[in-house]
Amino acid sequence: MVEVRGLTKRFGPVVAVEDLSLAVAEGEILALLGPSGCGKTTVLRIVAGLERPDAGRVLLAGRDATEWPPEKREVGLVFQSYALFPHLTVGANVAYGLRFRRGDRKRRVRELLDLVGLAGYERRKPHQLSAGQQQRVALARALAPEPRILLLDEPLSALDAALRKELRGELRALLKRIGMTALYVTHDQEEALALADRVAVMRDGRLEQVAPPAELYQRPRTPFAASFLGRANLWPGRVVSVDGDRAIVEVAGERIPAERGEALEGDEVLLFFRPEWVEVGEGPLAAEIESADYLGDRWELRARFRGRSLVVLTQEERRPAGSLRFSIRLARAVQHD
């Protein structure tokens, strides 16, 4: 439905986007995830036609739309700030999205408000709505002209944490119900994992990895993707042998089995594993606990294993201290940058 090929965009000396190619399938929710300034918004603005790329093409439903003006692209936009007209009612704000449309606008406005869970709110003014409700109005307005793709730029980031969680679930359900194709910009990894069908991790204007959430979390291809998507242990080591898709990685004299990834025998790699992949209590390895954070249902421990830092999770009554024994249940060899 949407494809960008070899996009590059510079602002003076800053390369905001560099040779980026990406495709979003019909009905798919793709999250563009990355730290502030990595170029996410610029990609979105280029797809919307609000910014011209220095190089590369934008294809919409298979047609080259690079030179098309924004209004011809049939994209809906939702931003962090709701940008509602304060003097217009909710109904009139949504109807604004229908200004080029014929037919029964009143009925369509009602349908859209129903869709976003705001039936009966037509006559209210934006200031009489909560922040979450205002964002739903903005969503209804963006969906009003039946865009072929919805572009969302940090749409939930102005809301408090609890509301953000609630709304992202609702938003995903709604997009799936109407089969909308969506490109969703966020710097919040949890939001990207929860909401998207696939996540595209960006770094310094480039794509680092594109994959479904679980694959990205379990099989990041780079140390950046591994640590941006959650807590990661990354220990330098060397692949001493491989067997099919398995490898033995030597770290500080210990031989630790791992998924091979793209590593070859003899490679210097990083042994990657998540805290929850560590079995604490018994096992061949020992580490010294440095600190413990209580998370309610478990402890997050920071420990030291032969000069390497280790983060693990445990369930204990009392604050853990001293040394711990552990084994690594699951690990993966990841190439250095």
Contact 210, 28 (CB under 8 A): no
Please report how close the Cβ of residue 254 comes to ligand ATP at its closest, in angstroms. Answer: 39
Query: Which residue number, 14 or 25, has a Cβ lying nearer to ligand ATP?
Result: 14
Report whether 208 contacts 229 (CB < 8 A): no
Yes or no: say if 154 and 174 are a contact pair by the CB < 8 Å rule: no
- Should residue 11 be labelled a site residue for ligand ATP when binding is judged by CB under 6 A? yes
Pick one of 42, 93, 133, 134: the residue that binds ligand ATP (CB under 6 A).
Answer: 42
Question: Contact with ligand ATP (CB under 6 A): which of 6, 14, 160, 166?
Answer: 14
Residue from 36, 100, 179, 297 touching ligand ATP (CB under 6 A): that is 36
Tokens of 209: 């990895």
Nearest to 176 by CA among 282, 27, 337: 27
Q: Considering beta carbons, is residue 34 or 220 the nearer one to ligand ATP?
A: 34
Binding positions for ligand ATP, 179-218, rule CB under 6 A: 187
Judged by CB under 6 A, does residue 38 bind ligand ATP? yes
Query: Applying CB under 6 A, does 81 fall inside the site for ligand ATP?
Result: no
C-alpha of 18 from chain center:
19
Q: Dihedral through CA 44, CA 49, CA 51, CA 55, nearest 10?
A: 90
Among 41, 134, 135, 189, binds ligand ATP (CB under 6 A): 41
37 binds ligand ATP (CB under 6 A): yes
* Of 21 and 241, CB closest to ligand ATP: 21
Nearer to ligand ATP among residue 52 and residue 325 (C-beta): 52
292 Cβ neighbours under 8 A, 6+ residues apart: 299, 300, 301, 302, 319, 320, 321
Question: Does the footprint of ligand ATP cover residue 34 (CB under 6 A)?
Answer: yes
Instruction: Please list the residues that pair with 14 across neighbouring strands.
Output: 11
Cβ proximity to ligand ATP: between 37 and 281 the closer is: 37
Strand order in the sheet with 55-60: 14-24, 2-11, 55-60, 63-64
Bridge pairing between strands 198-203 and 246-251: unpaired
Select 41 or 89, whichever has its Cβ closest to ligand ATP.
Answer: 41
Give the distance, in angstroms, between the CA of residue 93 and the centroid of all CA atoms in the same chain.
29
Stretch that binds ligand ATP, among 31-39, 126-134, 243-251, 305-313 (CB under 6 A): 31-39
Judged by CB under 6 A, how many residues of this single chain contact ligand ATP? 12
Residues in contact with ligand ATP by the rule CB under 6 A: 11, 14, 16, 34, 36-42, 187
